Amino acid sequence: MKPIVTWALIADTRSAKVIENRGPGKGLQPVTANVWEAAAARPYSSEAGIGHSIAGPGRTAVDQGDPQENANVQFARNIVRALGLAHEDKSFDRLILVAGPHMLGLLRKAMSDSLNEVVVAELAKDLTDVPLKDLERHLGEAIAV
Burial 113-131 (b: 16+ CB within 10 A, else e): eebeebeeebbeebbbeee
Q: Which of 19, 42, 14 is nearest to 100 (CA)?
A: 14
Domain limits for position 79: 6-39+71-139
What is the model's pLDDT at position 8? 95
- Lowest average pLDDT, out of 21-35, 60-74, 130-144, goes to 60-74
- Overall average pLDDT of the 14-18 stretch: 95
Tens-place pLDDT, residues 77-133: 999 999 999 999 999 999 999 999 999 999 999 999 999 999 999 999 999 999 988
> Does residue 145 fall inside a structural domain?
no
Answer whether residue 57 shows pLDDT above 70. Answer: no
Domain-embedded: residue 46: no
Task: Check residue 61 and give its pLDDT.
Answer: 57
Does residue 95 lie in a domain region? yes
pLDDT of residue 138: 86
Are the C-beta atoms of 61 and 48 separated by less than 8 Å?
yes
Q: How many domains does the chain have?
A: 1
Give the gyration radius of the chain's Cα atoms: 20
Q: What is the CATH number of the domain that holds 117?
A: 3.30.420.60
Residue 97: inside a domain, yes or no? Answer: yes
Domain-embedded: residue 99: yes
pTM: predicted TM-score of the whole model, two decimal places: 0.82
pLDDT-based confidence at residue 40 (cuts at 50, 70, 90):
confident
Residue 52: inside a domain? no
3-state secondary structure of 127: coil
Burial level of 68, CB count in 10 A (0-12/13-18/19+)?
middle
Q: Give the residue-averaged pLDDT of 68-77.
A: 92
Considering the domain boundaries, does residue 50 fall inside one? no
